[in-house]
Amino acid sequence: MRGKFITFEGGEGAGKSTQIKLLEAELKKRGIEVVLTREPGGTRLSEKVRLLLKDELEDPPCDRSELLLFLAARAQLVKNVIKPALERGAWVLSDRFSDSTFAYQGYGRGLDLKILRLANDFACDGLKSDLTLLMEISSEESLKRMRSRESATGTVADRIENAGDDFHSRLRFGFKDLAAQEPGRIKTIDASGTIEEVQEKIWKRVQLLI
Ligand code: TMP
């Protein structure tokens, strides 16, 4: 039987990486094979593209080039990792996927959503998630969590995280709009509670797929 494909989405600092690992452990306890991946990334080529996309370059990619780099990374991940895993019955959990492209490059950068959908469909060879968990926190909380992550890990915000307040409010709106358009596939999770509370909410949704 084909495995399930679950993606985690949301703005920065929503706790996606923590929750995705907790879900992986929960599924493994039940004897399910789980493949955990992230976007952009998850293959050697895609991880190299990730560096190009996140770094502050002297010659940063223009909006179209940024889009195509995300899609190139995705095409490689879908073909080499996600589809083979689903076909052998594993469940795939991805930290971000297509909805990030629609929110960031579509609503955020202002590229035409119709073109994005077509190009993305081509890159994914038609693959869509079975369930997308949209982790939602307020913009104040998001900023607070990013700042504390930066001081805890000594990292600084990357090129996209630094894209400015207007960009970030457009993409917040974008994620909400996408969820309203596809209520069956995209489920919003209030991510403002404790790690355990959020984990519980996620599990309620995922259980329905088992
Ligand atoms: P993250 O893994 O730390 O969330 O970094 C990925 C960054 O790339 C994040 O700022 C969101 C952004 N992004 C896009 O702009 N478009 C995409 O299609 C994807 C997958 C991510």
Q: Buried b / exposed e across 169-185, counting CB within 10 Å, b at 16+? A: ebbbebbbebbeeeeee
Q: What pTM was estimated for this model as a whole?
A: 0.95
The CA distance from 124 to 119, in Å, is: 9
Say if ligand 1 is within 6 A of residue 39 CB: yes
Which residue's CA lies nearest to atom 13 of ligand 1?
100
The whole-number pLDDT of residue 100 equals 98
Which residue's CA lies nearest to atom 17 of ligand 1?
101
Q: Which residue has the higher pLDDT, 156 or 127?
A: 127
30 Cα to the center of ligand 1, angstroms: 30
The whole-number pLDDT of residue 190 equals 96
The whole-number pLDDT of residue 87 equals 98
Say if ligand 1 is within 6 A of residue 175 CB: no
Token pair 């998001």 is found at: 142
Q: Which residue has the higher pLDDT, 67 or 14?
A: 67
Mean of pLDDT over the chain: 94
Q: If pLDDT is split at 50, 70 and 90, which confidence band does 142 have? A: confident
Q: What is the 3-state secondary structure (H, E, C) of 21-32?
A: HHHHHHHHHCCC
Q: Taking 90 as the threshold, does the pLDDT of residue 160 lie above it?
A: no
Cα three-residue angle 109-41-88, rounded to 5 degrees? 120
Say if ligand 1 is within 6 A of residue 161 CB: yes
5-9, 72-76, 155-159, 185-189: least confident range: 155-159
Give the Cβ contact number of residue 38 at 10 Å. Answer: 19
